[in-house]
Structure 1
Amino acid sequence: MKKIAIALSTVFLTNLGACRESPKQDVKAKEEDVDYKITFGKVAKTAVFRNDSLSIWGASLVKGDDNRYHMLYARWPKKIGWEWVTYSEIAHAVAPTPFGPFKHKSVVLPDRGKEYWDGSCTHNPTVHKFNGKYYLYYMGNTGDKKIVSEPGKPELNWEHRNKQRIGVAIADSPEGPWLRMDEPVLDVGNKETDHDALMTSNPSVCQMPDGKILMVYKAVGKQFNLPAGGPVVHMVAIGDSPTGPFKKYPDPVFTFEGERFPAEDPYIWYQDGRYRAIVKRMKHVNGERLFSLVHYDSKDGIHWDKATFFNISERKITWEDGREQQFVHLERPQVFVEDGRPVALLCAADTLNTAGARESFNIQIPLHIEKIIGK
């Protein structure tokens, strides 16, 4: 097979289904065999968004009609510990470029009372513009708001963890206001045996060529003992519109035989005739749990395979001054696409301080993709 490599910085990619207006339904996907080789560029110091008093985690980016770059991100008070599942809220920041510097503007999905399904916590945002409106997908939950973490010893409040559901809020501008729904856009399964019988979370979405919405989401079942349940898998659902209803498909994706929690945090998009995904991979080697970012692709969005160039990063980046750094975590990947090409990968990153507590922030990494066309 003959392969032709083309740097995407010089090629306008067609059939784009993420982070822009919806693709025209009469445009057919290319019949090419196109592989992507994904690497990172050097990161500027201004491409880090952090706060001394707040833990900052996953963020998603969209360009507004004002030509500014709008980041929707998760945050919670650092002083209470690693309490994302109980106290996270989604906030809004803006910048003149995709690489910052970003300035906080407002909280867009705050605590609104435990009587709501998403009243106590909003987390893991992913924002998109479809058909002239902005859609903010996220995880929400409710519960007792009990703090269970200690510095260096993160724990989960299981009531909040197991009430996680997927929601969507709608706005005419990334500035808001955001209209929240009375019910989740994707709830748990109806049967005790369903893969998502316990909880749904971490949505990733893109618009398909026919205008429908593809969603890949994290699901936890009840096969294993509660409160943790499990296994933790990823499932596929397709909606007729950005707000559903969504039809769920039965088979988990991104699986590895013998592993109960093999992956997390996919980001999906559609380009050059295939659905693409950057995914956090988790595996055990000699009793140690290792994390990395890997690459999958799919022709239909339902069945996913390891991409030809599977491995992307072992949590490492290179700063502009040439210094390399490996983070404790580098996850929640969110691809930002502008003018037809992926230009940035937003990730949640962290290091450990002297007390063993996690110092977390968002980082915007230049994304280099080499397009390999097989003939």
Structure 2
Amino acid sequence: MHLPLPVIFSRRQFLRLSGTAAAIASWDGAAGGLRGAATAVPPATTPLGDTFDLSRWLQPVPPQAVFEEPGYFVWCGTMVRGADGRCHLYYSRWRTEEGFAAWVTHSEVAHAVADQPWGPYRHADVALPARGPEFWDGHCTHNPAVFAHGGKYYLYYTGNYGDRQKVKGLNWSHRNHQRVGVAVADRPEGPWRRFDRPLIEPTLGFHDALMGANPSVLARPDGTIQLIYKAVGLAKPLPFGGPVVHVVATAPEPTGPFTKRPDPVFTHEGALFPAEDPFIWRDGGRYWAVVKDMRGYFTQAGRSLALMRSDDGFAWQPAAQPLVSRTEIRRADGAVQKLTALERPQLWFDRGEPAVLFCAASIGTEMQAQSTFNVAIPLRRP
């Protein structure tokens, strides 16, 4: 239930007012199960259907579902449940003293654990630390997306290197060195084996001629792996470049080699940067994606989360009910938490059903966040 007027809360107020464990007890979604790692999931028992409306699945957020780490900005968030039942969250973090814009220079992919999918999560270790400027991902790892497949765990991510200088705004040296890569482990705890080269290199004259980031993967019915990533070309002036689109690539194995398809996806006529942060999955014979809609191109609701659909995974369009969420979350007491950002959507599945929507959230301004956190939004089929 929305309050009559917009309400702005600090995160501490959010936690204090968000109710108690009783809110958890009243929710029976995501009750367990060891399946549901990223997109390697069986179809839902009941297909989602043409009129699937993810916004109606969103449940109130209990206080345990908000994860932050003192002294760090926290971003992203992708979860897999291990064979022992523990939940493993991989997230991006960087020290607050570096400033919010240091996500592109100082981020590292860290690892937290919990007993339940919605938390509370506790920091465990750093999964993908900095490893030196001689590596393509030597200074910064970001945008994790975990994928369990064939008895192994694959952690897709964005990496970069650069001068590590603190500048006003964005450090373009690091931003334009962004590439998509993957690390592999036998267990969700790691250790993670990294590679000397990224999965995706820029292709001159192609949509990704400048950089690539924000990977999401799924397994296709024929056993091949499908990757969608954000791509920035060189048709527009530097340092930003552009336009910003998304590219589909396929490979016989999770570690590649990937073949890029020519047509960009999640595009909108006249828009140079319509979307980012895709999460893709397959439900039976249909493909779905949640993306960050930059200006309401697909939802008509301003900056928001949008639902996209596809019959083949290659040609995409807005779903019949495209709005997933505005930049807000509903607390367990019914009040609405207004946010500066709600993005980096990642789903966790229980027995084939979407059960938790993980998002990165911030309060403050777009370039100067006062606080950030990961939120695990419970989902339940209406």
Does TM, scored on the shorter chain, surpass 0.5?
yes
Q: Distance in 1 between matches of 2:110 and 2:49?
A: 40
Matched, 1:74 2:92: yes
Report what 1:84 is aligned to. 103
8 Å contact from structure 2 (residues 38, 145) kept in 1: no
Deviation at 1:290, TM superposition (A): 3.6
Instruction: Mark the CA change 1:232 to 1:299 in structure 2 (over 3 Å): closer, same or farther.
Output: same
Alpha-carbon separation, structure 2, partners of 1:239 and 1:72: 24
Q: What secondary structure, in the 3-state scheme, does the structure 2 residue paired with 1:215 have?
A: strand
**What displacement does 1:18 show?**
6.0
- Return the offset for 1:93: 0.3
Alpha-carbon spacing, 1:349–1:31, altered in 2? closer, same or farther (3 Å)? closer
Give deviations 1:167-215, integer Å, cap 9, x for gaps: 00000011000000010011111x2x21100001100111111111111
Q: How much does 1:359 deviate? A: 1.0
2:97 partner SS: helix
Question: How far apart are the structure 1 equivalents of 2:240 and 2:263?
Answer: 21
Residue deviations 1:104-161, cap 9 Å, x none? 0000100100000000000000001001000000000011111124xxxxx1110100
Give the alignment partner of residue 125 of structure 1, picking from 140, 144, 167: 144
Separation (CA, whole Å) in 2 of partners of 1:20 and 1:313: 21
Identify which of 143, 165, 168 aligns with 2:182. Answer: 168
Of 204-213 and 54-63, deviating more is: 204-213
SS in 1 for 2:54: strand
Distance 1:97 1:115, change over 3 A: same
1:335-374 equivalences in 2 (<5 Å)? 335-352=347-364, 357-370=369-382
Matched, 1:19 2:38: yes
Task: Supply the distance in 1 between the matched residues of 2:206 and 2:330 (Cα, whole angstroms).
Answer: 42
Matched AA of 1:38: L
Aligned to 2:17: none
Is 2:78 the partner of 1:60?
A: yes
Q: After superposition, what is the alpha-carbon deviation per residue over 1:240-272, rounded to whole angstroms, capped at 9, x for unaligned?
A: 110111110111111111111010101001113
Q: Scaled by the length of structure 1, what TM-score is found?
A: 0.86
SS in 1 for 2:380: strand
Corresponding residue for residue 32 of structure 2: none
What SS does the corresponding residue of 2:154 show, helix, strand or coil?
Answer: strand
Q: Find 2:236's aligned residue among 224, 232, 241.
A: 224
Structure 1 CA distance, aligned partners of 2:290 and 2:369?
Answer: 27
1:331 is aligned to 343
Correspondence for 1:35 among 48, 51, 62: 51
Contact 1:22/1:130 (CA < 8 Å) preserved in 2? Answer: no
Between Structure 1 and Structure 2, which shows a larger proportion of strand residues?
1
Helix, strand or coil at the partner of 1:250? coil
Identical aligned pairs, as a percentage?
48
CA shift, 1:321, in A, is 1.1
SS at match of 2:379: strand
SS state at 1:35 partner: coil
Distance in 1 separating the partners of 2:36 and 2:317:
19
Q: CA distance change for structure 1 residues 55 and 97 in 2, over 3 Å: closer, same or farther?
A: same
Give 1:136-215 correspondences, 5 Å limit. Answer: 136-149=155-168, 155-189=169-203, 191=204, 193-215=205-227
Q: Which amino acid aligns with 2:325?
A: S
- Verify the 8 A CA contact 2:219 2:225 in the aligned structure 1: yes
Aligned to 1:305: 317
How many Å apart are 1:357 and its aligned residue? 3.7
Q: Which residue of 1 aligns with 2:265?
A: 253
Deviation >6 Å, runs of 4+:
none
Give the C-alpha shift of residue 217 in structure 1.
Answer: 0.5
Of 260, 271, 277, which aligns to 2:283?
Answer: 271
3-state DSSP of counterpart to 1:297 = strand
